[in-house]
Each structure stands twice: as C-alpha cells, then as structure tokens.
A = this chain, B = another copy of it.
Amino acid sequence: MKVKIYVTLKEGILDPQGKAVQHSLHTLGYASVRDVRIGKYVEIKISDMPEETMESRIKEMCHKLLANPVIEDFRYEIER
C-alpha cells in the first residue's frame, strides 16, 4: 500500500524558502500572490499491514526521521 505524507512548517515559523519563492513570483509578475509556504511531500510504498499498526508506524517514522516535531506538523493519507 501507499502512504502520502505532507510535512509543513508550523504556523508562525519563518519560512525563508517560501519568502524567496514569493519574491520570485512577484518578480515574474504574479502580484496577486500573498503568501507562499513550502513543505515536503513524501510517498512511501510499504508492505500491507493492519490499519492500526500502519498508523502507529507512520507516526513513529514522522517523529523519528521525516519531520522535526519542534517546528513541523505532518499529516498523512493511506491508499490501499
């Protein structure tokens, strides 16, 4: 099965990469862009396992490696 994980900076954490992209978009003429935030998108293919085990595994993986829980939030979707 496939898991899609979205890692984003928490509200209020400064996002320099997003600011740089926003600036570039303005330079390209997209003045209507008001804010840009950049996150990570991780797609994992994983062997089948029961839903509960899967959920706890994903949370563990995010806490240990994929996200920095101090400054980042994550959410995920499981596709069968």
Contact = CB atoms under 8 A, between A and B. Distances in A.
Nearest to A65: B24
Interface in A17-57: 21, 24-25, 28, 30, 32-47, 49, 57
Q: Is the interface of A mostly helix, strand, loop or mixed?
A: strand
Q: How many copies does the complex hold?
A: 2
A39 B36 contact: no
Contact of A28 (B37, B43, B65): B65
**Which 5 residue pairs of A and B lie closest in terms of their CB atoms, listed nearest first?**
A39-B41, A35-B45, A32-B47, A41-B41, A37-B43
Interface of A: 6-8, 21, 24-25, 28, 30, 32-47, 49, 57, 61, 64-66
